[in-house]
C-alpha cells in the first residue's frame, strides 16, 4: 500500500482510563470494539493476576499501571488521571461498551463550556433501560426515606439515585464514572477523587466538590451506553457491604451525628424489609445482597 492509500492517523485529544480488578474477560470484550490506536491506560488492581497487560501489547498508545493491588477504585483512577498527559480523560468501566462517537461527544461538551468539569453518558442495562444510579442527589433524610419506601419509582427525582428517561433533560447533583469525560486540570485542582473512599461514593464526593466550586457537570440522557454491571471480579456481597460502609462514611463527613443516625436507621430498616420480602419470595441471592448492604451500614467495610 502506498503512502497515499494509507488511512490518516487520528490525533487523539483524550485518553481512556480503566481500573481493572480481575476483569480481563470484560476488558478484552471492551477493547475489541475500540480502535487499536486509542490512547488508554489500564490500572491493574489485581497485581497482574489475570495478565491484563497482555491485552495492550498491540495497542501503541496504551499504558499499563500496576497499582500494587488493594488500592480501590478512587486511588487507582487517580493514578491513571494524574499520570496522563492529555487535557481530557474518559473514565470507563471494563463492562461498559462506549463507542468512539459517544466519547467524542462527551469531550466536545467540555471543550464547548469551560465551566463544565464532567460530562457523562447514560448507562443502560441488558434490558435496554437506563440503570438506576446513573447519578443522583445529595442524601437528606427526606430523600433517604423516599428511597427506602420505593417512592422514587413513581417520583423519579425524589430519591437518592437517578434513573434517567432517554432524551429527557435531568440535572443530578453527582454522576457515575462508568463513562464520563473529565477536564483533567480542573479535576485535579478540586482534589481528584476522595481517596478515603475505597469504592463507591467517590463520585458523590466529586459532585459535591464541583458544586461547591461553582462549576458544572452534565448528564447526557441522549447518549446510552450498554453496561454489564459486572466489571469487577469481587464478590457481589463483598461489594454491597462496601457500598453500605461507604455510604455511612459519606454521611458522617457531611452531616451532624443525629442526622447520620436517622438516615442510617432508615436505610437499615428499609433494606431489612427488602431482605425479608426477598426471602419470602424465594430470592435467596437477592436477600443475601440486601443483608450484605445492611452489614456495611452497621459494621463497616469487610475485613481484608
User: Could you say which DSSP state residue 10 is in?
Assistant: P
Domains of the chain: 14-226 (3.90.550.10), 236-299 (no CATH)
d(CA 257, CA 209): 21
What pLDDT, on the 0 to 100 scale, is given for residue 235? 86
252: left (phi over 0), alpha (psi -120 to 50) or beta: alpha
d(CA 264, CA 248): 7
What pLDDT, on the 0 to 100 scale, is given for residue 229? 58
What pLDDT, on the 0 to 100 scale, is given for residue 233? 57
Q: What is the mean pLDDT of each run of 10 residues along the chain (304 residues)?
A: 54 97 95 96 96 97 95 96 98 96 98 98 95 96 96 90 95 96 98 96 98 98 87 78 98 98 98 97 96 97 86
d(CA 100, CA 248): 37
Q: Element (H or E) spanning 276, and its range?
A: helix 257-280
**CA separation (Å) from 159 to 68, 135, 252?**
37, 11, 19
Question: Which is nearest to 226 in space by CA: 285, 156, 179?
Answer: 179
What pLDDT, on the 0 to 100 scale, is given for residue 1? 43
What pLDDT, on the 0 to 100 scale, is given for residue 9? 74
What pLDDT, on the 0 to 100 scale, is given for residue 2? 42
What pLDDT, on the 0 to 100 scale, is given for residue 6? 44
pTM: 0.93
d(CA 189, CA 169): 28
Amino acid at each position: 500500500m502506498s503512502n497515499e492509500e494509507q488511512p490518516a492517523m487520528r490525533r487523539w485529544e483524550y485518553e481512556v482510563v480503566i481500573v481493572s480488578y480481575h476483569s480481563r474477560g470484560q476488558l478484552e470484550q471492551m477493547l475489541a470494539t475500540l480502535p487499536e490506536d486509542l490512547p488508554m491506560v489500564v490500572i491493574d488492581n489485581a497485581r497482574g493476576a489475570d495478565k491484563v497487560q497482555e491485552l495492550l501489547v498491540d495497542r501503541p498508545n496504551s499504558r499499563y499501571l500496576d497499582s500494587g493491588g488493594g488500592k480501590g477504585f478512587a486511588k487507582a483512577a487517580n493514578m491513571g488521571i494524574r499520570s496522563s498527559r492529555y487535557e481530557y480523560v474518559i473514565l470507563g468501566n471494563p463492562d461498559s461498551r462506549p463507542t468512539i462517537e459517544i466519547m467524542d461527544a462527551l469531550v466536545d461538551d467540555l471543550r464547548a463550556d469551560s465551566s463544565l468539569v464532567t460530562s457523562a453518558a447514560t448507562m443502560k442495562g441488558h434490558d435496554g433501560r437506563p440503570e438506576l444510579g446513573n447519578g443522583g442527589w445529595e442524601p437528606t433524610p427526606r430523600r433517604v426515606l423516599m428511597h427506602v419506601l420505593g417512592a422514587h419509582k413513581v417520583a423519579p427525582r425524589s430519591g437518592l439515585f437517578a434513573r434517567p428517561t432517554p432524551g429527557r433533560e435531568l440535572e443530578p447533583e453527582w454522576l457515575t464514572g462508568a463513562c464520563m469525560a473529565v477536564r483533567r486540570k480542573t479535576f485535579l485542582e478540586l482534589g481528584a477523587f476522595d481517596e478515603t473512599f475505597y469504592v463507591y461514593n467517590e463520585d458523590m464526593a466529586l459532585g459535591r466538590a464541583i458544586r461547591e466550586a461553582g462549576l458544572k457537570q452534565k448528564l447526557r440522557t441522549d447518549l446510552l451506553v450498554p453496561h454489564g454491571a459486572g466489571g469487577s471480579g469481587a464478590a457481589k456481597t463483598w461489594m454491597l457491604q462496601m457500598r453500605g460502609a461507604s455510604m455511612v462514611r459519606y454521611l458522617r463527613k457531611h452531616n451532624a451525628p443525629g442526622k447520620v443516625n436517622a438516615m442510617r436507621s432508615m436505610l437499615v430498616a428499609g433494606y431489612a424489609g427488602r431482605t425479608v420480602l426477598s426471602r419470602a419470595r424465594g430470592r435467596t441471592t437477592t436477600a443475601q445482597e440486601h443483608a450484605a448492604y445492611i452489614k456495611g451500614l452497621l459494621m463497616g467495610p469487610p475485613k481484608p
